[in-house]
Structure 1
């Protein structure tokens, strides 16, 4: 009898510890066929987008995240996320280059993250890209996506804060000391880098969502970038619009149908989007116009949910009048004429 009571006590204590702390293995797996204009069809290696490492709709990733209850409403959180997962060959490089942070969270004051994590722009304005930041994103193809400011949707060496939800308002702020800017994301070296600040806020109440964000320049030759966005859900269709000024001065835009397209982008402009649900499916259209570079991009997409974790997708994007350039260190390269890209595949999350 005593042995049974001891065993039950041990199990109860173990259960309490498990409830207070957890670690989760998670991932996103995307594989499908895609191609760009004048290219060839490929299985996660279609010409014109990241060979092997990306699906057309999502980036294949694997990660670990967890939380520990420290008592008094305080928690310790972490996230380690690795990209570079090639589903076409099975090859991978385990480097936690997408998310690598530890933080603290309190019920009354919000959450702090320290390390490398998604940018404030990605967290705040990403919600207005209804197809996610996929390869077919019209926003990014036109060079006016807040998600990819300064060449990346991630920020290294950053202290990031998120407030609790206060009547529908969530405020986010980020800070990177200039001493930590050493060629990060291709720009900024210790001699020219600046302290970088970002601030964003979202108000969401019922069908309405409104957001704004700004991020200061991280080196000379760049500028403060800012964006605003709003969406409204009519149930039968959800609508969104954004306005964006990107970070490079004197750069008319860029062509992201090449691997070097995402660096040192510039311009400003607006976007419109609509997505409609049809049972387990949704169908959407998104349009973006970079008014500085006279770049226009149209995106069509459809998704069909086979389950809560698995869906099929078809994505198409076409650029119009792309008189833009690829702005990279050492010069610029002319963009392709009226390029397009198409992809279809399957995404599974776990």
Structure 2
């Protein structure tokens, strides 16, 4: 009887320990019909017609895993793995966990530290001011002045990232990337142009008002410190957002107003827009629907972009959408895209 009681106690303790750890499978699936200027309607055409890859029109289809383990004393271990490159029109995928791959430690009193590939500070702070999210039709992105896509990406590899607790709506963020991670593996033969990179962000969200500011130093000589500020206010019947952004590279007017100078490390001619400018967006809830319009003006590269969108929530997990975007898309080749391009798409996004 005594041995049985001991065994039951061990099992109970084991069950309690297991209950303190969790792993979650999640995902976003986007499929719809879209059309680019000069192209034909098709499922998940995305930017494929201009030399890009097939993708969802409003969201990047992806699958991820995240977990947390309670280490006691208010300390917890975290991990995240997220893959992109999932094309629902063909079923093809790239299981490289290129969107997120990190391990972290967190504490309720001091915040969270993550090591690995994670979202950029710019994406964390400025993403909230793009009222339709970072959709393919995003005017901010098409204008080349989205703080989410500095250096052509919303992610950073080899990043040491810190996020503070929420202090009455205020959250501070900081990150560091060593120059040994900027160009070559193992930090050998690093070019003299490479720089240690630092990012700082501060955001406030309480009630109807949200404010954010972020800055990121250059990753290499030839670029510059990028910064952005934004604010939004929710009036219930309508939400208004505005941002100002200076990107990491100067805008170079070329290819019918597009930009030939790339934002990726050591690259040129990729079509990524530089420059600086401002954005303004308005959205309004209509029952289960949400409609809005956004405008971006890149004064440094002489680009204007417009976005009109409508979303209808069938449930908390499933949404129908119609999006229209006019202007330059920084994710494709400027040489391949026609003058004054536009894109339109309608589809469904399901999350789990």
TM-score normalised per structure 1: 0.89
Aligned residue number for residue 285 of structure 1: 293
Do residues 266 (structure 1) and 274 (structure 2) align? yes
CA displacement at 1:275 relative to structure 2 = 1.0
Separation (CA, whole Å) in 2 of partners of 1:130 and 1:181: 32
Match of 2:302 among 291, 294, 300: 294
Separation (CA, whole Å) in 1 of partners of 2:150 and 2:67: 28
Contact 2:142 2:330 in 1 (8 A): no
TM-score normalised per structure 2: 0.88
CA displacement at 1:143 relative to structure 2 = 0.6
1:127-160 deviation per Cα after TM superposition (whole angstroms, max 9, x unaligned): 0001111110000101100000011110001100
Contact 2:60 2:84 in 1 (8 A): yes
CA displacement at 1:333 relative to structure 2 = 4.0
Alpha-carbon spacing, 1:255–1:87, altered in 2? closer, same or farther (3 Å) = farther
SS at 2:315's partner residue? Answer: coil
Aligned residue number for residue 100 of structure 1: 101
Do residues 339 (structure 1) and 344 (structure 2) align? no
Contact 1:178 1:190 in 2 (8 A): no
Aligned residue number for residue 159 of structure 2: 158
CA displacement at 1:68 relative to structure 2 = 0.3
1:41-63 deviation per Cα after TM superposition (whole angstroms, max 9, x unaligned): 111135247433x2000000011
1:304-334 deviation per Cα after TM superposition (whole angstroms, max 9, x unaligned): 1111111111100112xx7x99998xxx748
Aligned residue number for residue 348 of structure 1: 350
SS at 1:130's partner residue? Answer: coil
Aligned residue number for residue 37 of structure 1: 37
Separation (CA, whole Å) in 2 of partners of 1:21 and 1:238: 39
**Unaligned 5+ runs, structure 1:** none
Contact 1:254 1:326 in 2 (8 A): no
Alpha-carbon spacing, 1:40–1:107, altered in 2? closer, same or farther (3 Å) = same
**Unaligned 5+ runs, structure 2:** 261-267
Q: How many residues align?
A: 337
Contact 2:144 2:272 in 1 (8 A): no
Alpha-carbon spacing, 1:183–1:129, altered in 2? closer, same or farther (3 Å) = farther
CA displacement at 1:40 relative to structure 2 = 1.2
Match of 1:318 among 326, 333, 344: 326
Separation (CA, whole Å) in 2 of partners of 1:235 and 1:117: 33
CA displacement at 1:86 relative to structure 2 = 1.4
Of residues 20-29 and 188-197 in structure 1, the stretch that sits farther from structure 2 once superposed is 188-197
Of residues 166-175 and 193-202 in structure 1, the stretch that sits farther from structure 2 once superposed is 166-175
